[in-house]
């Protein structure tokens, strides 16, 4: 669950960061040339445009790194191509950003023209533009950016449409709810209208063709209609005669323009017509044979944040438009922001449904398509991270095309993985084993597909040409980043998702019908609420996924939380019994997936196959050398950003160390040489790279920080490896500078990934027990696993393997409910010593939810009498002996009337009289319940338990009665006498369990299969003898010495 939710959270966080980066900044293309677009006022002549651009060129040439400029000029616009000197990006004097700022700043010196680094749209737009850009629409679809609304005026009478548009814009702009409004009308351009007098034209024999010829001669130049292509550039051919006047023409010149008649006579234009000065539109938008004018407006933030206010404001706009007098032939449409992308959403939804149906039909499953499609957000994470780190915008068509191609590839990886796991499941593999094996078996084809695709995209991603950077790089980075990230995570997330979702569905199937119905209804209500109330694709996706996770998750949490101790799980009068089967506890155990992976590795080693062979090393050298060559070129000749140089230097360093370690496995006799080589490589390569990085980076302080971080990481990795190989106990450090060394190792061990992980320790090894009502003893030395077994029985610890049943109820499934049957007294427990037993137990009863005062009083008195402490109930606990405090502990766990008592070494530290009293108390309590009594004191077991189990090193070595156990040492116990001198010289030869001085001799009691001496006499064995013999015979330590008892 945490893995899946973490992946989704990372996906949405990455989207947010990418959008912020994409919107806040645009990519600076660092190429040796850039274009400067100059737009002149309407009506400008070619000569005036040429003169203005010439002055702009002079200013551009003042920039130090500019080598030359090339200009293309037309009447009202021009393009200046600025070429920079070769290797300009290696200079520390000026950056690409500075050059762009200088070029953009030229607009301040030439206020009468528009100068921009961005190509102006093909249709000149005015206030607000002709509509929303694709980027703005994409942002609005995702639920970010400003939601703009539109009013579209359609018709044929453009002048009348202009008047209506200006009227509506004035009315809307005056509303307090509207932040701004604009009309997409471009500024009018100057025009000259020629009005002909047909009568005078007829009298002077002048035709319209004669006027057209005169107009051609009137212009200083005219286009030929043909283009000239040179070096890939296309130029328009303009014809101009040598003796043609090139100065600007005025209206007076037009009125005096000479027009030749059909008879050859020359007349002034004023003789046949009139020239009038006027103005007109420069652009007209037409769609489906209708002219269009668009009004765009935005509401203020207070309106957009409230659904009710937004609805009322839209209604107000509708009323204003309805109140305007609209002539016939003109249509005014109000287009609100909502519903603009309904068709788009429907197509996306339809595509997802179709993919889901195909996968469901192929796999004959409803949940596996969800698992496979989960690879889509994984690919999105990598793609968005790649775009963000390389500075490319995600709001572009090339990026979206890359996403579409990417999704098909990563889904195929999931299909390969899941399909093979299903084949293994049919062959009898378990769920987790099948997923692990499918990942191992399908690793090669998945990696080959991904690597070949990534390599194919490298030229596009690394290209430096302007159009490659702006068009190909976003596409390539999207595919490469998404594929690399998704390929790695597919091998982890897809199996996790598959296993987790299968478990969730199994849990859902076992729910009661009423709870299932409630969850389905909640899902439907949540979906309806999100669809109607939540705006924006991103926020809808987040809330949908949140509802899908939280509704079942909340149900599971509530059901788990409501589970509580329930003593009624066992019927009154029913005899108690506990069955323990194959109980195993491993401390420091790896996670499930790591264990499965190690299991496959161990299986590989068990087959006797060599992990590394000379052939494998030589084969791997082919791709390793190619990869190293690419990394060297990429780091030292292509990249120019210090951060990315450092990242790939670390990758190259890791690859070189990996290759050296592989070679070391084939050359075991060259360990000294390999050690020296490894040291030089480990520290020498980073040192040389750091020198290069420092000399190449522009901001020296930033380079120093990166280098320091790199060496800190290397040092910590080296220290972690060293501590793992040679663990250090800080408390045992001695010698010179021990205080400094202790502080050094304390600091190192405080770092989580540096501190060596504790080795796995198996505290229980497949314990099998059956415990019936009465006293049951657990006997064993310290560290045998007694406390671990008891804590698992009480539900405090989870077992690694195995099962425990209490009267047929599985403790792993009914842990909370079974708590009401168990009372646990640990070896060390605390009490409030300033309280009396009555006050302390009354307080504990309240904590156990015994709220009725009368019932609580009866319960407290009952347990005090049960442990024979009723006479001392009003004395302070601090004045009690150890045995009396142990009785208070027993009284505490009896408050909820448990049917199973578990006490862990309760007699430790008590004097003999208190031990006897406490043993008798436990025997008395065991008449109506199970009492599990653990100790390493044999006498306590022998005198109180009717059945016991012996644990030695986590294994159950004996189960049965104390009497039967004593028989294990029959004919194994011997006694004989030695002089003090003989005892000192021969005591190492015998397994002595007891010796006592008798006059001048020492009586020795030992264990042996055979008569140890001629004068040895066989004696009757007791439980202690049997226990010691069992420990010796079952111990895995062959040379273990038993402690010698002496008197």
Contact yes or no for 975/999 (Cβ under 8 A): no
Q: Which residues contact 1010 (CB under 8 A, 6 or more apart)?
A: none
Higher pLDDT, 58 or 277: 58
pLDDT at residue 649 in the model: 87
Quick: pLDDT tens for 625-681: 888 888 888 788 777 677 778 888 888 888 888 888 877 777 777 778 888 888 888
User: Residues of 231-255 as b/e, b for ≥16 C-beta within 10 angstroms?
Assistant: eeeeeeeeeeeeeeeeeeeeeeebe
CA 833 – CA 877 distance, rounded (Å) = 5
Tell me which residue of 129, 118, 75, 127 sits closest to 285, measured CA to CA. 129
For residue 369, pLDDT beyond 60: yes
Provide, rounded to the nearest whole percent, the portion of the chain with pLDDT above 70.
80
- 3-class secondary-structure state, position 377: helix
Higher pLDDT, 493 or 972: 972
Q: What confidence tier does 403 reach under pLDDT thresholds 50, 70, 90? A: confident
pLDDT average, residue stretch 603-621? 67
For residue 607, pLDDT beyond 60: no
Q: Which residues contact 498 (CB under 8 A, 6 or more apart)?
A: 368, 371, 418, 421, 435
Range of weakest confidence among 156-170, 208-222, 940-954, 1001-1015:
208-222
Helices and strands (H, E) in the chain, number of each type: 38, 29
CA 355 – CA 357 distance, rounded (Å) = 5
pLDDT at residue 402 in the model: 76
Q: What confidence tier does 1046 reach under pLDDT thresholds 50, 70, 90? A: very low
For residue 443, pLDDT beyond 80: no
Q: Which residues contact 834 (CB under 8 A, 6 or more apart)?
A: 876, 877, 878
pLDDT at residue 580 in the model: 92
pLDDT average, residue stretch 174-184? 83
Contact yes or no for 405/479 (Cβ under 8 A): yes
pLDDT at residue 123 in the model: 37
pLDDT at residue 579 in the model: 92
pLDDT at residue 298 in the model: 82
Provide, rounded to the nearest whole percent, the portion of the chain with pLDDT above 90.
2
pLDDT at residue 1038 in the model: 40
Tell me which residue of 478, 348, 349, 498 sits closest to 414, measured CA to CA. 498
List phi, psi (to 5°) of 638: -110, -50
pLDDT at residue 246 in the model: 52
Q: What confidence tier does 401 reach under pLDDT thresholds 50, 70, 90? A: confident
Quick: pLDDT tens for 114-147: 887 776 644 333 333 344 444 555 555 554 455 5
Paired tokens of 285 = 């938008």
For residue 191, pLDDT beyond 80: no
Higher pLDDT, 287 or 979: 979
CA 485 – CA 599 distance, rounded (Å) = 26
pLDDT average, residue stretch 776-789? 87
Handedness of CA 798, 804, 805, 810 (dihedral sign): positive
Paired tokens of 718 = 């080296």
Range of weakest confidence among 303-317, 650-664, 798-812:
303-317
For residue 754, pLDDT beyond 60: yes
pLDDT at residue 849 in the model: 81
For residue 397, pLDDT beyond 70: no
pLDDT at residue 23 in the model: 47
Higher pLDDT, 627 or 247: 627
pLDDT at residue 1040 in the model: 45
Tell me which residue of 961, 962, 959, 936 sits closest to 949, measured CA to CA. 959
Higher pLDDT, 932 or 43: 932
Q: What is the pTM of this model?
A: 0.58
As beta bridge partners, residue 948 has 777, 960
Please give the mean pLDDT across all residues of the chain.
78
Outline where DSSP puts E strands in 63-204. Answer: 66-73, 77-84, 114-116, 148-155, 178-183, 189-196
């Amino acid at each position: 669950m945490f893995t899946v939710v973490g992946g989704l959270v990372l996906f949405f966080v990455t989207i947010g960061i990418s959008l912020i980066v994409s919107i806040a900044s645009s990519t600076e293309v660092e190429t040796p040339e850039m274009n400067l677009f100059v737009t002149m006022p309407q009506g400008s002549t070619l000569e005036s445009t040429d003169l203005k651009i010439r002055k702009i060129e002079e200013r551009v040439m003042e920039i130090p790194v500019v080598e030359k400029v090339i200009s293309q000029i037309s009447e009202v616009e021009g393009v200046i191509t600025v070429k920079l000197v070769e290797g300009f990006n290696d200079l520390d004097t000026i950056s690409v950003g500075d050059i762009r700022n200088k070029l953009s700043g030229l607009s301040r010196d030439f206020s009468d023209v528009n100068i921009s680094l961005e190509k102006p749209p093909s249709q000149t737009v005015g206030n607000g533009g002709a509509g929303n850009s694709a980027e703005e629409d994409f942002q609005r679809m995702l639920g970010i950016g400003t939601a703009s609304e539109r009013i579209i005026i359609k018709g044929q009478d453009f002048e009348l449409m202009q008047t209506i548009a200006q009227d509506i814009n004035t009315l809307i702009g005056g509303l307090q709810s509207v932040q701004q409004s604009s009309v997409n009308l471009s500024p009018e351009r100057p025009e000259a209208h020629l009005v002909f007098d047909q009568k005078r034209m007829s009298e002077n024999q002048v035709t319209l063709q004669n006027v057209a010829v005169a107009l051609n001669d009137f212009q200083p130049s005219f286009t030929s209609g043909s283009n000239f292509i040179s070096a890939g550039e296309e130029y328009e051919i303009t014809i101009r005669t040598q003796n043609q006047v090139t100065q600007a023409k005025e209206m007076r010149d037009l009125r005096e323009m000479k027009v030749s008649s059909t008879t050859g006579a020359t007349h002034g234009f004023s003789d046949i017509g009139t020239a009038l000065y006027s103005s007109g539109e420069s652009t007209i938008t037409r769609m489906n044979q209708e002219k269009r004018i668009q009004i765009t407006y935005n509401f203020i933030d207070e309106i957009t944040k409230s659904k009710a206010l937004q609805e009322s404001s839209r209604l107000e706009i509708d009323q204003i438009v309805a109140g305007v007098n609209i002539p016939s032939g003109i249509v005014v449409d109000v287009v609100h922001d909502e519903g603009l992308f309904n068709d788009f959403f429907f197509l996306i939804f339809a595509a997802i449904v179709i993919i889901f149906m195909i996968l469901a039909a192929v796999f004959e499953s409803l949940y596996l398509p969800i698992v496979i499609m989960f690879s889509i957000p994984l690919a999105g994470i990598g793609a968005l991270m790649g775009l963000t780190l390389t500075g490319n915008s995600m709001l572009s068509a090339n990026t979206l095309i890359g996403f579409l191609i990417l999704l098909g590839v990563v889904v195929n990886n999931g299909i390969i993985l899941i399909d093979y796991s299903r084949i293994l499941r049919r062959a009898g593999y378990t769920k987790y084993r099948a997923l692990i094996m499918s990942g191992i078996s399908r690793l090669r084809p998945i990696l080959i597909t991904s690597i070949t695709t990534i390599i194919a995209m490298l030229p596009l991603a690394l290209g430096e040409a302007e159009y490659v950077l702006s068009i190909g790089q976003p596409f390539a980075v999207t595919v490469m980043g998404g594929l690399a990230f998704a390929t790695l995570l597919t091998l982890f997330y897809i199996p996790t998702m598959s296993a987790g979702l299968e478990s969730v569905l199994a849990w859902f199937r076992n729910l009661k019908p009423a709870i299932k119905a409630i969850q389905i209804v909640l899902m439907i209500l949540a979906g309806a609420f999100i669809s109607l109330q939540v705006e924006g694709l991103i926020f809808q996706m987040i809330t949908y996924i949140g509802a899908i996770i939280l509704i079942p998750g909340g149900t599971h949490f509530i059901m788990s939380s409501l589970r509580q101790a329930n003593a009624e799980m066992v019927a009154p009068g029913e005899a108690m019994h506990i069955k323990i089967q194959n109980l195993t506890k491993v401390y420091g155990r790896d996670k499930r997936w790591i264990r499965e992976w190690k299991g496959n590795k161990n299986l590989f080693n068990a087959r006797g196959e060599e992990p590394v062979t000379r052939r494998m090393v030589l084969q791997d050298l082919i791709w390793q050398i190619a990869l190293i060559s690419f990394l060297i070129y990429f780091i030292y000749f292509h990249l120019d950003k210090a951060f990315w140089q450092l990242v790939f230097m670390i990758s190259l360093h890791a690859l070189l160390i990996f290759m050296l370690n592989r070679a070391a496995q084939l050359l075991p006799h060259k360990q000294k040489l390999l050690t020296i080589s490894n040291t030089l490589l480990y520290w020498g390569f980073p040192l040389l790279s750091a020198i290069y990085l420092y000399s190449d980076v522009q901001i020296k302080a930033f380079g120093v920080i990166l280098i320091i971080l790199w060496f800190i990481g290397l040092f910590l990795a080296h220290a972690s490896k060293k501590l793992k190989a040679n663990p250090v106990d800080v408390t045992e450090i001695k010698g010179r500078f021990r205080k400094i060394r202790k502080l050094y190792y304390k600091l190192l061990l405080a770092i989580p990934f540096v501190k060596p992980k504790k080795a796995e320790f198996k505290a229980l090894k497949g314990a099998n027990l059956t415990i019936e009502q009465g006293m049951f003893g657990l006997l064993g030395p310290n560290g045998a696993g007694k406390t671990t077994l008891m804590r698992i029985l009480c539900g405090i610890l989870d077992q690694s393997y195995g099962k425990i049943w209490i009267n047929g109820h599985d403790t792993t499934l009914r842990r909370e409910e079974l708590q009401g049957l168990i009372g646990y007294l640990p070896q060390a427990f605390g009490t409030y010593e300033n309280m009396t037993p009555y006050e302390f137990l009354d307080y504990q009863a309240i904590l156990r939810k015994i709220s009725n005062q009368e019932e609580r009083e009866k319960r407290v008195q009952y347990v005090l009498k049960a442990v024979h402490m009723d006479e001392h109930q009003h004395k302070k606990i601090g004045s009690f002996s150890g045995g009396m405090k142990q009785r208070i502990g027993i009284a505490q766990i009896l408050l909820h009337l448990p049917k199973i008592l578990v006490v862990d070494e309760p007699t430790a530290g008590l004097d003999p009289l208190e031990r006897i009293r406490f043993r008798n108390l436990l025997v008395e309590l065991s008449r109506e319940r199970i009492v599990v009594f653990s100790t390493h004191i044999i006498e306590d077991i022998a005198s109180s338990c009717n059945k016991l189990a012996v644990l030695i090193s986590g294994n159950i070595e004996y189960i049965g009665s104390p009497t039967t156990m004593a028989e294990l040492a029959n004919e194994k116990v011997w006694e004989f006498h030695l002089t003090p001198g003989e005892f000192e010289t021969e005591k190492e030869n015998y397994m002595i369990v007891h010796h006592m001085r008798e006059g001048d001799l020492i009586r020795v009691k030992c264990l042996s299969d055979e008569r140890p001496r001629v004068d040895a006499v066989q004696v009757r064995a007791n439980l202690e003898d049997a226990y010691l013999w069992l420990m010796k015979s079952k111990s895995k330590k062959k040379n273990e010495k038993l402690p010698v008892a002496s008197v």
